């Protein structure tokens, strides 16, 4: 056992330390003088490599930017996660903003590190960029590089290999891999959801002329939200719950052996909010929209290419499915192109089979929405059970819907003395939310606006009874003319 008296006296300890550090200084000076600079670097690197190998208590997980030919999702996620982290020792961060981005993006600069703790485990993140000296420009894997395909393929980063290293005590390997990394991925998803700009993809102009049409995209700045939608609260809630359940059910879909997709059919008269509902769903889920206009597609093969060009976590929309194109039904053979207008060579069954089969199994979290004004005119193939998971009727304005619009447009949160009359009128005439919204936009004065709305609804009611009696000219000056008719008469619609 070591006792205090066994320890050297402070002065003896200092003398020993001084002699060791003097020897070290001498050794270092001699090393610097005698060994050439390049050899010094080589020896130091070799020393650290050996030291690293023998220092068996830590483990490094290396996450490269590329996995063979394709991007490594893990690297992309880590980059997003790291953009939210800094510590007091961080000295350099890279920031950037593209024209369509809403926020600046922040990234760790080269060779910067961050330390964080997870369940008491210290994890050190290092971001490494390595320049390759023998890489002439863009790498295609054929130039003899020892990292084929591992360099960025954009000009500017073509010579740089990038990766993250996560260092931690080896004994925590299982926790880091099984708990920490999933935790980081979850966080990343939440960050993306917060920031993601929802995009609207449409078929570009070239689509009409080319065999393989392609998607063009812009930011979807549609302000529609569930909160703003005039819809029965119970239906709204049911739909939001349905969407929530859908996105949580990855494992469930796998377990029951179904592709992770959900189909909705929205039907109802024009101006009842079908397109607004699609925008609200996209904004709610932060899913991109692919607006597929069948008019612009010529062949089954073109359609397949388009569908395969859509990304995961997206909504494929086919509006006005009943009238967008004369689709031969499933029992009719496609008409040869020379006899069919616009060379249409695809069939409804081709579309539906592909959507149900290969397409949906090629991706995850796919939503598909058809809209129509005439559910009765739809091909029964579209309506059969299991084809569209939910049929949603968007109908004329109800009292609850009206209250939502009054709150949106006039900021009326509670009651208004006009409400009673308006509610009575809404009970006896059919008006669309679009028509009422137009009335509510006419002035900022709530009393005036609601007065105008009452006149509009009365006019509509009289117009209907006049129409049904069919004995009075509907342009009779003594009768208030319904707004929609006036617009049409003025040739504005
Ligand atoms: N349910 C609704 N809630 C709130 N606003 C609505 C609603 N329905 C219609 N509107 C208003 O009317 C406008 C037109 O509605 P929208 O384009 O969503 O109707 P639609 O059902 O898609 O019509 P169409 O069948 O002609 O495509 C919207 O921009 C919105 O301002
Ligand atoms: Mg619409």
Q: How close is the Cα of 301 to the center of ligand 1, in Å?
A: 33
CATH domain 199-393 topology: Rossmann fold (3.40.50)
Helix (H) or strand (E) holding 192: helix 181-195
Q: Which residue has the least CA distance to atom 14 on ligand 1?
A: 271
Cβ partners under 8 Å of residue 480, min gap 6: 455, 456, 458, 459, 462
Question: Which of 61-65, 151-155, 187-191, 306-310 reaches the highest mean pLDDT?
Answer: 61-65
Give residues (CB < 6 A) around ligand 1. 229-231, 270-276, 373, 394, 433-434, 437
Q: Which residue has the least CA distance to atom 13 on ligand 1?
A: 434
Nearest-angstrom CA–CA distance, 335 and 299: 12
Q: What is the pLDDT of residue 325?
A: 57
The number of the ligand nearest the C-alpha atom of 279 reads: 1
The number of the ligand nearest the C-alpha atom of 439 reads: 1
- Taking residues 22-51, report their average pLDDT: 71
pLDDT higher for 441 or 295?
441
Q: What angle do CA 272, 277, 283 make, to 5 degrees?
A: 155
Of 262, 237, 483, nearest to 364 by C-alpha is: 262
Q: Lowest mean pLDDT: which of 74-83, 121-130, 449-458, 478-487?
A: 478-487
Of 370, 202, 373, 369, nearest to 271 by C-alpha is: 373
pLDDT grade, residue 35 (50/70/90)?
confident
Three-state SS at 74: helix
- Taking residues 100-106, report their average pLDDT: 66
Residue 272 has, within 13 A of its CA and on its CB side, a CA count of 19
Q: pLDDT, tens digit, for every residue of 225-244?
A: 999 999 999 999 999 999 99
Q: pLDDT, tens digit, for every residue of 355-412?
A: 877 777 777 889 999 999 999 888 888 888 778 899 999 999 999 999 999 999 999 9
- Report in angstroms the alpha-carbon separations of 308 from 293, 298, 314: 15, 16, 12
For residue 84, pLDDT beyond 50: yes
Nearest-angstrom CA–CA distance, 319 and 58: 57
Ligand 1 atom index nearest CA of 277: 18
Q: Which residue has the least CA distance to atom 27 on ligand 1?
A: 270
Q: What is the domain partition of the chain in residue ranges? A: 33-195, 199-393, 399-489
Q: What is the pLDDT of residue 41?
A: 72
pLDDT grade, residue 151 (50/70/90)?
very low
pLDDT grade, residue 25 (50/70/90)?
low
Ligand 1 atom index nearest CA of 228: 4
Q: Which residue has the least CA distance to atom 25 on ligand 1?
A: 270
Q: pLDDT, tens digit, for every residue of 255-292?
A: 998 889 999 999 999 999 999 999 999 999 999 999 99
- Report in angstroms the alpha-carbon separations of 91 from 106, 113, 114: 13, 9, 11
Q: How close is the Cα of 434 to the center of ligand 1, in Å?
A: 5
pLDDT grade, residue 46 (50/70/90)?
confident
270: left (phi over 0), alpha (psi -120 to 50) or beta: beta
What residues flank ion ligand 2 with Cβ within 5 A?
A: 274-275
Give the predicted TM-score (pTM) of the model. Answer: 0.63
Output the CA torsion sign for 244, 245, 250, 253.
negative
Mean pLDDT of the chain: 77
pLDDT grade, residue 328 (50/70/90)?
low
Per the CB < 8 A criterion, the answer to whether 199 and 220 are in contact is: yes
The number of the ligand nearest the C-alpha atom of 392 reads: 1
Nearest-angstrom CA–CA distance, 255 and 124: 37
Nearest-angstrom CA–CA distance, 219 and 198: 6
Q: Lowest mean pLDDT: which of 229-233, 329-333, 449-453?
A: 329-333
Nearest-angstrom CA–CA distance, 455 and 441: 15
Query: What is the best residue among 226, 232, 239, 271 to mutate for testing ligand 1's pocket, by most ligand atoms within 8 Å of CB?
Result: 271
Q: pLDDT, tens digit, for every residue of 113-131?
A: 889 999 999 999 998 887 7
pLDDT higher for 2 or 123?
123
């Amino acid at each position: 056992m070591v006792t205090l008296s066994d320890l050297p006296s402070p002065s003896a300890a200092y003398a020993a330390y001084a002699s060791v550090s003097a020897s070290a200084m001498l050794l270092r000076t001699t090393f610097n003088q005698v060994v050439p600079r390049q050899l010094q670097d080589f020896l130091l690197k070799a020393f650290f490599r050996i030291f690293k190998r023998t220092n068996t208590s830590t483990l490094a997980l290396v996450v490269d930017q590329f996995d063979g030919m394709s991007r490594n999702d893990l690297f992309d996620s880590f980059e997003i996660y790291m953009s939210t982290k800094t510590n007091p020792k961080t000295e350099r961060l890279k920031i950037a903003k593209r024209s369509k981005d809403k926020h600046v993006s922040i990234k760790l600069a080269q060779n910067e590190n961050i330390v964080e703790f997870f369940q008491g485990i210290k994890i050190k993140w290092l971001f490494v960029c390595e320049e390759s000296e023998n890489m002439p420009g863009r790498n295609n894997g054929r130039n003899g590089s020892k990292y084929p395909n591992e360099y960025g393929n954009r000009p500017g980063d073509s010579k740089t290999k990038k990766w993250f290293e996560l260092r931690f005590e080896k004994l925590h390997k299982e926790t880091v891999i099984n708990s920490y990394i999933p935790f980081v991925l979850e966080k990343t998803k939440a960050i993306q959801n917060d920031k993601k700009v929802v995009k609207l993809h449409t078929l570009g102009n070239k689509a009409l002329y080319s065999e393989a049409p392609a998607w063009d995209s812009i930011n979807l700045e549609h302000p529609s939200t569930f909160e703003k939608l005039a819809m029965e609260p119970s239906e709204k809630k049911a739909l939001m719950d349905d969407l929530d359940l859908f996105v949580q059910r990855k494992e469930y879909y796998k377990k029951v052996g179904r592709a992770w997709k959900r189909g909705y059919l929205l039907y109802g008269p024009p101006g009842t909010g079908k397109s607004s509902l699609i925008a609200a769903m996209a904004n709610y889920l932060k899913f991109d929209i692919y607006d597929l206009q069948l008019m612009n597609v010529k062949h089954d093969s073109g359609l397949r290419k388009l569908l395969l060009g859509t990304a995961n976590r997206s909504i494929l929309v086919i509006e006005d499915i009943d009238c967008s194109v004369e689709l031969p039904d499933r029992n009719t053979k496609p008409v040869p192109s020379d006899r069919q207008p616009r060379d249409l060579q695809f069939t409804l069954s081709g579309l539906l089979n592909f959507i149900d089969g290969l397409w949906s199994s090629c991706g995850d979290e796919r939503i598909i929405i058809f809209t129509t004004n005439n559910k009765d005119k739809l091909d029964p193939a579209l309506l059969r059970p299991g084809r569209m998971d939910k049929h949603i009727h968007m109908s004329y304005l109800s009292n609850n819907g009206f209250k939502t619009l009054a709150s949106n447009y006039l900021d009326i949160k509670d009651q208004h003395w006009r409400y009673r009359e308006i509610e009575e009128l809404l009970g006896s005439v059919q008006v669309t939310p679009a028509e009422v919204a137009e009335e509510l936009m006419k002035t900022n004065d709530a009393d005036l606006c609601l007065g105008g709305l009452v006149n509009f609804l009365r006019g509509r009611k009289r117009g209907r009874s006049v129409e049904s009696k069919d004995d009075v000219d509907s342009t009779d000056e003594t009768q208030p003319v319904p707004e929609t008719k006036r617009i049409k008469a003025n040739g504005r619609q």
